Amino acid sequence: MKFLVMNGVNLNLTGKREKGVYGTATLEDINAKIAAYCKAQGDEADFYQSNIEGELVNKLHEAFLNKSYDAILFNAGAFTHYSYALRDAIAAIDIPVAEVHISNVHAREEFRHNSVLSEVCAGVVCGFGSGSYIAAIVGLKDKLAK
Ligand code: DQA
């Protein structure tokens, strides 16, 4: 199976910003862990990060039009809470998307409790640090096997 792992706004600073919330593993560390997990399962993963909403929309379109991935893991960062453009892009594509968060958004500020993406995602994982991405892979694989 081939996964696209997408990270949105500010996620490039993971491991360097708000370490008490997001931990000390960098995005590169997290991606290396995901790549190793996928390899061990006989799967593949590509990685993409952008701070720009339109670039993330373009990447989702590209994945859809090129039929290049079986499933997508997406941590949209703060875009999660207000980007109708990303929501519409996820709804437009026929690739299952898992919404992922490093932190437990439900144990944080109220504005983080709402996601405009969840409704159009295959599932949501949050609160397990880099383990959220791994759990999302497990969930997506299980869903695709059915
Ligand atoms: C986040 C949670 C969001 O609320 C926040 O804006 C982020 C990161 C997470 O991974 O925990 O930037 O998506």
Tell me the pLDDT tens digit for each residue of 53-75: 999 999 999 999 999 999 999 99
Report CA(22)–ligand 1 centroid distance (Å).
Answer: 8
Total domain count, the chain: 1
Mean pLDDT throughout 77-94? 98
Report CA(92)–ligand 1 centroid distance (Å).
Answer: 23
CATH number at residue 53: 3.40.50.9100
Residues facing residue 3 across a β-bridge: 45, 71
Report CA(68)–ligand 1 centroid distance (Å).
Answer: 26
Question: 43, 13 in Cβ contact below 8 A?
Answer: no
Residue with tokens 């993330």: 56
Beta strands in the chain (DSSP E): 2-7, 44-49, 71-75, 97-101, 123-126
Report CA(103)–ligand 1 centroid distance (Å).
Answer: 7
Q: How far apart are CA 8 and CA 51, in angstroms?
A: 5
Q: Which ligand 1 atom is at minimum distance from the Cα of 132? A: 10
Please list, in sequence order, all residues whose beta carbon lies within 8 angstroms of the beta carbon of residue 113, skipping any fewer than 6 positions away. 105, 106
pLDDT at 5: 98
Question: 136, 115 in Cβ contact below 8 A?
Answer: no
| DSSP per residue, 49-76 | E-S-HHHHHHHHHHHHHTT--SEEEEE-
Q: Which ligand 1 atom is at minimum distance from the Cα of 10? A: 12
Residues facing residue 101 across a β-bridge: 126
Told to judge if 81 belongs to the known catalytic residues of this protein, a careful annotator would answer: no
pLDDT tens-digit readout, 100-129: 999 999 999 999 999 999 999 999 999 999
Number of other CB atoms surrounding residue 128 within 10 Å: 16
Ligand 1, atom 8: closest residue by C-alpha:
77
Output the ligand 1 site: residues, CB below 6 A: 10, 75, 77-78, 80, 101-103, 105, 112
Ligand 1, atom 13: closest residue by C-alpha:
77
pLDDT tens-digit readout, 8-53: 999 999 999 999 999 999 999 999 999 999 999 999 999 999 999 9
| pLDDT band per the 50, 70, 90 thresholds, residue 146 | confident
pLDDT at 138: 98
Structural domain boundaries, residue 7: 2-145
